[in-house]
Amino acid sequence: MGERQRILDLMDRAYKKEAWHGPALLETLKGVNAPLAAKRPPHGAHSIWELVEHVASWNELVAKRLEGRKITYTPEYNFPPVPKNPSPAAWKKSRARLARTQAHFRREVARFPVAKLGRLRPSPPGQKAQSWNVLIHGQIQHGLYHAGQIAMLRRMFRKPIA
């Protein structure tokens, strides 16, 4: 298996199923309805819904960086506002956005030249230069980090992962 296929396999396992560590992101979201997704945890922590929107934003941001596009990063982009009325239709729309941005991220990784993976990418002023590989793997790890948070929120709200 080549490097590109290894990365795509890792992405798929982290997002869909068969992750080494435990439940993949989609597995943590299975059975989550709009009221549970919107439920506010204590101490100002983010809701499941907010975490889903956050991961979707970063999937999009990394995909666009892989395309060579620049992104204007704002707090609203980082954690987009979620609907005040948590309807099933709005939750479905957020889940669809996550799927769409994950597909975009995966597509751009599949297109990215393997020879460039270890090269340093342009970094914003004041940030340490990192390789394209670190950016890609960082977003995969980022999704898993938030999958863990979602799993813990489900446990807190007594809705274990099936």
Q: Cβ distance 7 to 109 under 8 Å?
A: yes
DSSP string, 32-65: --HHHHHPPPGGGPPPHHHHHHHHHHHHHHHHHH
% of the chain beyond a pLDDT of 90: 77
Number of domains making up the chain: 1
Average pLDDT over residues 25-50: 94
Structural domain contains residue 161 = no
Whose structure tokens read 């342009």? 122
Q: Say if CB 59 and CB 139 are below 8 A apart.
A: yes
Give pTM, 2 decimals.
0.94
Domain holding 134: CATH number? 1.20.120.450
DSSP the chain: --HHHHHHHHHHHHHTS--SSS--HHHHHTT--HHHHHPPPGGGPPPHHHHHHHHHHHHHHHHHHHTT------HHHHSPPPPSS--HHHHHHHHHHHHHHHHHHHHHHHHS-GGGTTSBPP--TTS---BHHHHHHHHHHHHHHHHHHHHHHHHHTT----
Write out the two tokens for 162.
Answer: 């099936």
Q: What is the pLDDT of residues 4-13, one digit of tens each?
A: 999 999 999 9
What does the mean pLDDT of the chain come to?
A: 93
pLDDT for residue 78 is more than 90? yes
Task: Let me know if residue 61 belongs to a domain.
Answer: yes
Question: Is 147 contained in some domain?
Answer: yes
pLDDT the model gives residue 106: 98
The range of the structural domain enclosing residue 48 comes to 3-156
- Tens of pLDDT, residue by residue over 79-130, are 999 998 899 999 999 999 999 999 999 999 999 999 999 999 987 788 888 9
